[in-house]
A and B are shown apart, each in its own frame.
Chain A
Amino acid sequence: EIVLTQSPGTLSFSPGERATLSCRASQRLTSRYLAWYQQKPGQAPRLLIYGGSTRASGIPDRFSGSGSGTDFTLSISRLEPEDFAVYYCQQYGDSPQTFGQGTKLEIK
């Protein structure tokens, strides 16, 4: 089973800043089947990025994904107040699919 490590567990930024979140896989992903989700308190996760770098429908272009192999990154270019949430990565190319432990993005 591929373990996804998201570190640190919490990141603090101010609105308007650029944030970079990390997701590291315990072994090389066979393909770029890596997704990112955003979750706000009391809500279901929302798909942001799939295929490592493709934005899901309706996702603002301030969100971008990159990476390959074992290291993947979600970047948010200019943080808006509504972006402060928990972010999860998911690998879905190797069975079983797995999620990371999440990174909480909080307001500094």
Chain B
Amino acid sequence: QVTLQESGPPLVKPTQTLTLTCTISGFSLNTDGIYVGWIRQPPGKALEWLALIFWDDDKRYSPSLRSRLTITKDTSKNQVVLRMTNMHPVDSATYFCGTGYTLASPRVTKYDYWGQGTLVTVSS
């Protein structure tokens, strides 16, 4: 059974850096074809894709947030970490991690499994 669990601080101050962790069980991040992405959702609003990492460490970022995002993985812990710098109140949202599998070329990424999400509020 595949499960994902997001963790991170519920509250960050403006200008601070947010660090979120997605802990995965049910498969290994080393498995060919696996990818994990981060998607956020401000309260009452739509989903917004942020970043993505593949099993071979290939990384993709949202162009509008690229300068503020870093995605990494720790295969020993089976975790994916997202860092977002210079947080603003507009970054307040529920942050989800999601995963799927692809060996297609070009790489295409839908999300078969999702974590429950973690709510982050940016406020002084």
| Chain A interface SS verdict (over half) | loop
- B55 beta carbon closer than 8 Å to chain A: no
Q: Is the CB of B108 within 8 A of A47?
A: no
Residues of B near A92 (CB, < 8 A) are 108-110
- A98 beta carbon closer than 8 Å to chain B: yes
Q: Is the CB of A90 within 8 A of B114?
A: no
Residues of B near A47 (CB, < 8 A) are 110-112
- A45 beta carbon closer than 8 Å to chain B: yes
Q: Is the CB of A88 within 8 A of B46?
A: yes
Interface size class of B (residues with CB under 8 A): 20 to 34
Query: Among the listed stretches A17-25, A72-80, A99-107, which one makes contact with chain B, having 4 or more residues with CB under 8 Å of it?
Result: A99-107
* Size of the chain A interface, CB-CB below 8 angstroms: 25
- B47 beta carbon closer than 8 Å to chain A: yes
Say how far A77's CB is from chain B's closest CB, in angstroms: 23
Q: Is the CB of B60 within 8 A of A102?
A: no
Say how far B118's CB is from chain A's closest CB, in angstroms: 11
Say how far B91's CB is from chain A's closest CB, in angstroms: 17
A3-B63 Cα distance, complex, nearest whole Å: 14
Q: Is the CB of A56 within 8 A of B49?
A: no
Residue of B49, B109, B110 with most partner-chain A CB within 10 A: B110
Q: Is the CB of A97 within 8 A of B46?
A: no
**Using a CB–CB distance below 8 Å, which chain B residues touch chain A?**
39, 46-49, 60, 62-63, 96, 98, 106, 108-112, 114-117
